[in-house]
A = this chain, B = another copy of it.
Amino acid sequence: MSVTPKYSTKQRAQDRARILQILLTNKAVATGILGRLPQPDAHTPEQDISEIATLVARLPAADLADVLEALPTEERHALWRLIKDDQRGKILIEASETVWDDLIEGMSDKALLNIIRPLDIDDQIYLAQYLPRDLMGRLLATMPQEQRARVRQVLRYEKHSVGAIMDFEVITVRADVTLAVVQRFLRLRGKVPQNTDKVFVTTRDKTLLGELGLTTILLHAPQTLVMSVMDDNPTCFAPEDNDEVAARTFERDDLVSAAVIDSSGKLIGRLTIDEIVDVVYEETDNDLRRMGGLSAEEDVFAPVSKAVKARWAWLAINLCTAFIASRVIGLFEHTISQLVALASLMPIVAGIGGNTGNQTITMIVRALALQHIQPGNFSFLVLRELGVALFNGIIWGGVMGCVTWLLYDDLALGGVMTLAMVLNLLVASLMGVLIPMIMMRLGKDPAVGSSVLITAITDTGGFFIFLGLATIFLL
């Protein structure tokens, strides 16, 4: 006899893949589910639809959320149609915000309230933050007074703060009772919130005194007093703390949950590792997307129209910067007409600068996110990057200078090539450090569009430096 997982991770992965396969290989399945086929005839893929329905009934909410995220809009709607109301709320919680619009769209307010109301208060609050204003009002109206106050409080916290992701459901015990009393209290309570690895020790007015790990309860004699074994120096957060900084602290201290206290030391909620893992995924994903000029909310499976909308701004910015670079070259059209080889060579200077600039900026953006950059080591970084650029510029610029000399049999042209590469690499690395640092100082996200910006600078700079030097030395 051994453990026979009734529903293994592997089986779940297969079931997820199977739903995708059915929906994506036969367009008629989605159309059939949505009832848009002209008439139910022999071609209605009834068998496929009922297979999907079976899989949907079996898969946990988190898996269904994943499948929904991996579908185009039409198929997403179709699958959503097959999901029962009591699953839908949990799925909304698990799914990323990018797909909410698609799922909520077309549902009546009443239906939406019906799927939200059975959720935990913490999940309701989480969803409420993203609901349309009027719908939120109606959701609030269905809540008891105390819950309503909590929702209002959460809505006051900014996005990306600890307050916006904390849970309100906490278990508290008193310091002057024994562990036996605590255990009896827990047993009476019957269940604990997910990711409970500790209970909080507070006074009657909710002032936090310490934390009591479940393992501590289990490992000590029942007659032990809480105050004698509690951790009275726990890691706490304030609701205003930044969520990414909190995530780092969770990682540093290997936390599963932590108390959130207000400025007077009163316990107002707790932060749990599952929210933190989401923050970590989001943080790094967003950096990646933002640097490339993708909006953080872009849904991979959005239809063409939405994808166009999500990206047009960056494209327009890019077009403007490319146009500026083009005009810089335009200034030197006379030079180019004299020596057309310059036109062939100038993209090398620009390209190598773009590469170095992007390497530098990627490193700095991540180091900033990791809080590794302090005012103290900033000048070291600038000098280090300039040193690397100078070295690479002389070596690789020298190589390209020689190649140019041999190719065009023009020593002066080779010299201009080398000099231009050295200078553009210096510009690229200096800007690669400065741009994210300045954005940070201005209170902007250093990742946003940094890649687009650095490429613009190294292109324009590269053309200007190379063609400028050529005009001075070669004409």
The 9 A-B residue pairs with the shortest CB-CB distance, nearest first, are A284-B284, A24-B376, A2-B265, A343-B343, A322-B351, A304-B387, A329-B344, A70-B372, A62-B252
Which chain B positions have C-beta within 8 A of A336? 336, 340, 343
One of B3, B217, B265, B277 near A251 (C-beta < 8 A):
B277
Also in contact, A72 and B377, with CB within 8 A (given A254-B195, A281-B280, A284-B288): yes
Determine the distance from Cα of A67 to Cα of B288 in the docked complex, in whole angstroms: 25
B325 contacts A347, CB within 8 Å?
A: yes
Main SS at interface, chain A: helix
B347 contacts A70, CB within 8 Å?
A: no
- Whether a CB of chain B sits under 8 angstroms from the CB of A373 is yes
Which chain B positions have C-beta within 8 A of A352? 315, 318-319, 322
- Whether a CB of chain B sits under 8 angstroms from the CB of A133 is no
- Whether a CB of chain B sits under 8 angstroms from the CB of A400 is yes
Determine the distance from Cα of A355 to Cα of B366 in the docked complex, in whole angstroms: 21
- Whether a CB of chain B sits under 8 angstroms from the CB of A183 is yes
A273 contacts B256, CB within 8 Å?
A: yes
A344 contacts B318, CB within 8 Å?
A: no
Contact with B along A1-14 (1 / 0, CB 8 A): 11111111100000
Also in contact, A319 and B214, with CB within 8 A (given A187-B219, A287-B288): no
- Whether a CB of chain B sits under 8 angstroms from the CB of A455 is yes
Stretch among A34-42, A115-123, A146-154, A204-212 lining the B interface? A204-212
Contact with B along A93-121 (1 / 0, CB 8 A): 01000000000000000000000000000
B300 contacts A363, CB within 8 Å?
A: yes
Q: Which residue of B lies closest to A358 (CB)?
A: B292
One of B191, B293, B455 near A359 (C-beta < 8 A):
B293
Also in contact, A274 and B301, with CB within 8 A (given A325-B347, A373-B70): no
A315 to chain B, nearest CB (A): 6
Q: Which residue of B lies closest to A302 (CB)?
A: B384
B2 contacts A208, CB within 8 Å?
A: yes
B314 contacts A359, CB within 8 Å?
A: yes
Also in contact, A333 and B323, with CB within 8 A (given A374-B17, A381-B300): no
One of B60, B191, B322 near A348 (C-beta < 8 A):
B322
B9 contacts A377, CB within 8 Å?
A: no
Stretch among A49-57, A78-86, A136-144, A388-396 lining the B interface? A388-396
Which chain B positions have C-beta within 8 A of A362? 288-289, 292, 294
Q: Which residue of B lies closest to A390 (CB)?
A: B304
A227 to chain B, nearest CB (A): 11
Determine the distance from Cα of A24 to Cα of B374 in the docked complex, in whole angstroms: 10
Also in contact, A359 and B252, with CB within 8 A (given A277-B280, A340-B337, A392-B312): no
- Whether a CB of chain B sits under 8 angstroms from the CB of A285 is yes
Contact with B along A56-80 (1 / 0, CB 8 A): 0000101100100111100000000
A251 contacts B273, CB within 8 Å?
A: no
B326 contacts A459, CB within 8 Å?
A: no
Known A251-B278, A300-B363; further 7 A-B contacts with Cβ < 8 A: A3-B232, A8-B236, A9-B236, A17-B374, A24-B376, A94-B252, A342-B343
